[in-house]
Amino acid sequence: MKLNNRKTDNKIFSNEIPQANSLEKIEKLVEFASKNIWRYYLIEDELGVVHRQVKYYVSAASILGLVKGYKPHKITDKGLEYLSLNREKKRQYLRKTILETKAMKIYLQARGDSDKETFENFKHYTVNINDTTLKRRLSNLKKWAEYCDEIKPLPASLVFKKIEPFEFDKVKGITTIQKDERESDKARKTHQDLVLMMENHLKEKN
């Protein structure tokens, strides 16, 4: 799954990473939204979560595009389409929706041979997320990825080993051309290396 190489597209913020791991509970929340039931005290018992955790599921459903807004949150056209499907088609639809999220695209690109390696890789993309919070969020993304993999195996090409820090800088477009003429040759060489690296990266994917 190809990531856009623009710097802003490769940055991810806390509110773009799900805080909820149960996709079954997300579906229940969407069902409630379809009936205009959005008050937390009416939802928490049905979901089996405490009051503050309802917000996590609202946020996760919003990331998936199934609901929108906050107190009240409302079901979207996408959410209505999802609920209209039978069980198997719902699974396929949810898998496709999950894989389209920015968080999952980055997770699958950053996934390594261990949770620690995945954490280190993913961390390079984050903005103002502390380590403890990120580890919790990654555990949710891992469950979402496992759900998708159970429905249809994820391509092995989406997984690569640990990336060195300098490679992250190049992939994210952080390299800048120095204004100082003395640095121009070095900057051009860096740019050439970047182009070559990306070409090789795309060839490996194909």
Confidence (pLDDT) at 205: 53
Confidence (pLDDT) at 126: 96
Confidence (pLDDT) at 187: 53
Strand partners, 12: 126
Whether the CB-CB separation of 202 and 171 falls below 8 Å is answered with no
If we measure between CA atoms, which residue out of 90, 72, 92, 73 comes closest to residue 81?
90
Confidence (pLDDT) at 3: 39
Type of residue numbered 54: V
The pLDDT tens digits along the chain (206 residues) read 333 434 445 799 999 999 999 999 999 999 999 999 999 999 999 999 999 999 999 999 999 999 999 889 999 999 999 999 999 999 999 999 999 999 999 999 999 999 999 999 999 999 999 999 999 999 999 999 999 999 999 976 554 444 444 344 444 443 333 334 444 455 555 556 655 665 665 555 55
CA distances from 47 to 9, 54, 140, 163 (A): 33, 8, 17, 39
Confidence (pLDDT) at 5: 39
Does residue 128 come out as left (phi exceeding 0), alpha (psi in the -120 to 50 range) or beta?
left
